[in-house]
Amino acid sequence: MLASSISDREGMGSFVDCEALTRMIYDGRDSTWSAMRSTVVPLYQPARLAGLIPVMQSYVDTLAANIAACPDQDCVPFCQLSLRMAIDIIGRTAFGIEFGLSKNAAGTGSSSSESPGGGEGEGDVREFLREYKRSMEFVKMDLTSSLSTILGLFLPCVQTPCKRLLRRVPGTADYKMDQNERRLCSRIDAIIAGRRRDRATRRRCGPGAAPAPAPLDFIAALLDAMESGGGGGGGAGANKDFALADRHVRALAYEHLIAGTKTTAFTLSSVVYLVSCHPLVEAKLLRELDGFAPRRGRGRAPDADELQSGFPYLDQVIKEAMRFYVVSPLIARQTSERVEIGGYVLPKGAYVWLAPGVLARDAAQFPDPEEFRPERFAPEAEEERARHPYAHIPFGVGPRACIGHKFALQQVKLAVVELYRRYVFRHSPSMESPIQFDFDLVLAFRHGVKLRAIRRG
């Protein structure tokens, strides 16, 4: 609400005040949060992300295989298949679990929360995914959400006390949300205990036996941090008195599950959908991708260095897709101290809603904002050089920016390279036009993206 009044008075081109907003509101002052974040930062260093490429690529290959196996090549449910891939990648890289959603996914018609791939613990995995799905359904930012969330949209200061009260009242949406989150967190606790047992098993390897390789999953890495000193990771903002506990590991794992699945799937679906609408963009993208590896045959996956610098036009396409459809319509912050922005004085503790989607359509920063034009992000483009750095913030900005953005972009790039090595895409006859969205905490295609998959000759 405050962000709206500021923009009404000053206009969205006034970015000097946004800098003040960033300094004051994005300032990570909470010591526990700062210590937790500094512990997590090393998990997203380039070397570790490079080590995750084979895992990600295996699920990307499965996504491509599921498209090939789809019984109706004129109506591929791309959003559903890409979401399965994203959840499977988080399952393996964050939890060390094989969710198995991508196995035999094409043509099943079942929801992503009801089709684990089988094997030991299938029932537990199924229940885990059902609770995850319900958690995502509760995350809404409209009048269909819980009463506390609705009140928070208009009176943020009453949201927390209202939620504390309503979650004790059976039958309310807040109560159901609380119960579901408790069940989901209990299952995450069980996973943490399992990872701890895995560590103990590795330690028991005899001196003559080759030790099992250390797992790459996020939880196991956090447990390593706990046992090696477990504090703030040595960063400048770390709290030396902070000790990472199981509840912190659970919170971080929960955040990855909620924040790292639908967002990645939506971004990949947006890229493919928008490229399929723009033949000139598609042709330029194909020339770049074909220059990396031969078009015929599977070829090899790009390595970390190639993903970083070998696909400049793909980078521009992804940035423009994320500008065109901003996955996080709103970013909420609370002022850490009194600050003046655009002539308005915000007291300490004021709630501020930022709208990155509004910034992304500002004609002063993005000429012809309704035009999908990846070249606007070319480093040599005058528009790119003149643009304010805070005009495009799909991952947020400042100390509280999305810490996993490189992890997400790595998935998207690997998927685009592999898919366009095999296919080009067109809109399915059953694809709605114009496309409709659900504006929840994460933007979503209301009826999915349905595509025709055309094999490249």
Contact 331, 430 (CB under 8 A): no
What is the mean pLDDT of the segment spanning 29-57? Answer: 79
- Give the residue among 335, 387, 332, 391 at the shortest CA–CA distance from 358: 391
Q: Peptide bond preceding 356: is omega within 30 degrees of 0, i.e. cis?
A: no
pLDDT, greater one: 143 or 306: 306
Q: φ and ψ at 130, to 5 degrees?
A: -65, -40
Residue 115's pLDDT band (cuts 50, 70, 90): very low
- Give the residue among 384, 417, 411, 263 at the shortest CA–CA distance from 316: 384
What is the mean pLDDT of the segment spanning 211-237? Answer: 64
Q: Is the pLDDT of residue 427 over 70?
A: yes
The fold adopted by the segment(s) 30-105+122-203+216-226+245-325+401-455 is Cytochrome p450 (1.10.630)
If you compute the radius of gyration of the chain from its CA atoms, what whole number of angstroms results? 23
Contact 318, 267 (CB under 8 A): yes
Domain residues of the chain, as ranges?
30-105+122-203+216-226+245-325+401-455
Residue 211's pLDDT band (cuts 50, 70, 90): low
- pLDDT tens per residue across span 387-400: 998 899 888 887 77
What is the mean pLDDT of the segment spanning 249-275? Answer: 89
Q: Average pLDDT of the chain? A: 79
Q: Is the pLDDT of residue 302 over 50?
A: yes
Residue 273's pLDDT band (cuts 50, 70, 90): very high
Contact 372, 277 (CB under 8 A): yes
Contact 166, 148 (CB under 8 A): yes
Q: For strands 76-77 and 450-455, give the pairing.
A: antiparallel
Q: What pLDDT sits at residue 186?
A: 85
**Amino acid at position 88, single letter:** D
Could you give the percent of the chain with pLDDT greater than 90?
37
- pLDDT tens per residue across span 154-163: 666 777 777 7
pLDDT, greater one: 203 or 386: 386
Contact 362, 12 (CB under 8 A): yes
Q: What pLDDT sits at residue 335?
A: 85
Q: Which residue has the tokens 């996914």?
A: 105
- How many angstroms separate the Cα of 428 from the Cα of each of 68, 250, 436, 452, 453? 15, 41, 15, 5, 9
Q: Is the pLDDT of residue 153 over 70?
A: no
Q: Is the pLDDT of residue 409 over 90?
A: yes
Binding residues for heme, by number, are 402
Q: Is the pLDDT of residue 28 over 60?
A: no
Alpha helices in 52-143 (DSSP H): 53-69, 78-90, 122-138
Q: φ and ψ at 410, to 5 degrees?
A: -60, -45
What is the mean pLDDT of the segment spanning 98-123? Answer: 56
> In sequence order, what E strands does 277-385 have?
331-334, 339-341, 344-346, 351-354
Residue 275's pLDDT band (cuts 50, 70, 90): very high
Q: Is the pLDDT of residue 14 over 50?
A: no
- pLDDT tens per residue across span 55-67: 999 999 999 999 9
pLDDT, greater one: 440 or 217: 217
Contact 428, 451 (CB under 8 A): yes
Residue 428's pLDDT band (cuts 50, 70, 90): very high
Which of 75-79, 90-94, 151-155, 409-413 bottoms out in mean pLDDT, i.e. has the lowest?
A: 151-155
Q: Determine the length of the chain.
A: 457
Q: What pLDDT sits at residue 278?
A: 97
- pTM to 2 decimals? 0.81
Q: φ and ψ at 74, to 5 degrees?
A: -90, 0
Binding residues, by number, are 402
